Structure formats: structure tokens, C-alpha cells
Amino acid sequence: MMKGIIGKKIGMTSIFSPDGKQTSVTIIEAGPCVVTQVKTKDTDGYSAVQLAFGDKKEKHTTAAEKNHFAKANTAAKKFVKEFRDYSIEKAIGESITVDIFTEGEKVEVVGTTKGKGFQGVVKRHGFSGVGEQSHGQHDRQRAPGSIGNSSDASRVFKGMRMAGRMGQDRVKVKGLKVVKIFPDKNYILVSGSVPGHIGSIVLIQK
């Protein structure tokens, strides 16, 4: 069973504990999310709750989306996510706010990491490069080296780590602590850092 909410990454700062320890925290504006669909085992084969977050303009909404949101009696929303086996009983049209979490709770945060573009193997896979800059070595400091054998394989194995597009992956960070909640502003502060750039969509779940 799980509970979760959709939020937007706002930024980072640090806060002090009463004994003077400084902790870095990420501010997330989470919710309020509207329940737009409740899936049950009988009708859909699995149990889940569909949450919607963030307003969107009517001209960007298709007729199908309009009807879907009309069933939940809400305006069109930008982001729709499903949470499997939701532990909180909610009906269509009800809203979910940051109140579902309490301070001190451990949560997971899912986000999309910042895109790094086309990167070499040293940055992308942590290769150490050639290692030497002298002894005749010339301009191959960050090269991958050999990618396979000669006649025995005669091919490069699948999954060989090479240069390519890096970042923009869905990443889940576990074990982040809820440090503080501001229910009036829908802000939730979690310890440490969270994947993605400022303004990106994250899921907070437990």
C-alpha cells in the first residue's frame, strides 16, 4: 500500500536544528491534487488512484480530456499520474493535500534528472580515462579504451557502455525525510536533493 502526491520542485535551501546542525532541504510545492479516477480490481484488473495537478489553459485541452476532468468536477489539469494500491480512501473529485504526510516521515521522491546532452564515457559511466598524460600519450585522456576482443568474438557485445545521451532519466530517491510542512502554502520540505531542475514535476510517495 502506498500514498503519494504530485508536486513541483521549487528550490533548495538549508535549515538549522535547535542544536545548530545545518541540513540542506528541497522545497516542493505539492498538491492540492484532484482524484480524477479510482480504478478497482473488479473493473480495471488492478487498484489505483489517478491524481491530477497543475492548471492548464482550456485551448490546450482536448474534448476527451475536458469530459474526463468534468467527471471529477474540476478544471483541466496539466499533469495526471496514477498511484497503485493507494492506502487513503478517496472518491472521484476529492482533493489530496500535503496533510497526508507528517513531519519526520521517510518518503521516496521520483523525478526526471537534468539532461546533460551527449557525454563521453568518463562523465557518463565513470570510466577513469587513459590515466597518463605523459610517456608519449597524446590527446586520448578521456577515451574509452578497448571495447572488445579480436577474432574470438568478432563483434561488440550488446550493452557495451559508450558515449551518448546522458540525463533525463526517471530516478527515484529513497529515504528522504520530511523536515517541515507548510499546509497553507502547500509546501513540503524534504531533506537532501531531489532529481530534476527547478520547476520540474516530482512525485512524493511512501
Q: What is the dihedral of CA 118, 121, 122, 125, to 10 degrees?
A: 100
Amino acid in the structure at residue 164: G
Min CB(16)–another protein separation in Å: 5
Q: Does 182 bind another protein (CB under 8 A)?
A: yes
Q: End-to-end CA distance of the chain, in Å?
A: 9
Rounded-to-integer distance, Cα 66 and Cα 72, Å:
10
The DSSP-derived string for 84-113 is: ETBSS---TT-EE-GGGS-TT-EEEEEEEP
Nearer to another protein, 148 or 199 (CB): 199
Nearer to another protein, 9 or 124 (CB): 9
Q: Does 201 bind another protein (CB under 8 A)?
A: no
Rounded-to-integer distance, Cα 205 and Cα 2, Å:
7
Min CB(140)–another protein separation in Å: 38
Min CB(195)–another protein separation in Å: 19
Min CB(43)–another protein separation in Å: 40
With CB under 8 A, what is the number of residues at the site for another protein?
Answer: 19
Cβ–Cβ under 8 Å, residues 5 and 35 = no
Q: Does 53 bind another protein (CB under 8 A)?
A: no
Give residues 93-122 in contact with another protein (rule: CB under 8 A): none
Q: Convert residues 141-180 into a mask of x (bound to another protein by CB under 8 A) and - (unbound).
A: ---------------------------------------x
Q: Convert residues 10-49 into a mask of x (bound to another protein by CB under 8 A) and - (unbound).
A: xxxxxxx-xxx-x----x-x--------------------
Nearer to another protein, 80 or 189 (CB): 189
The DSSP-derived string for 150-200 is: STTT-SPPTT---SEEE---EEEEEEEEEEEEETTTTEEEEES--SS-TT-
Min CB(116)–another protein separation in Å: 24
Rounded-to-integer distance, Cα 104 and Cα 151, Å:
59
Task: Pull the grid cell for residue 100.
Answer: 497526508
Which residues contribute to the site for another protein (CB under 8 A)? 10-16, 18-20, 22, 27, 29, 180, 182, 185, 187, 189, 198
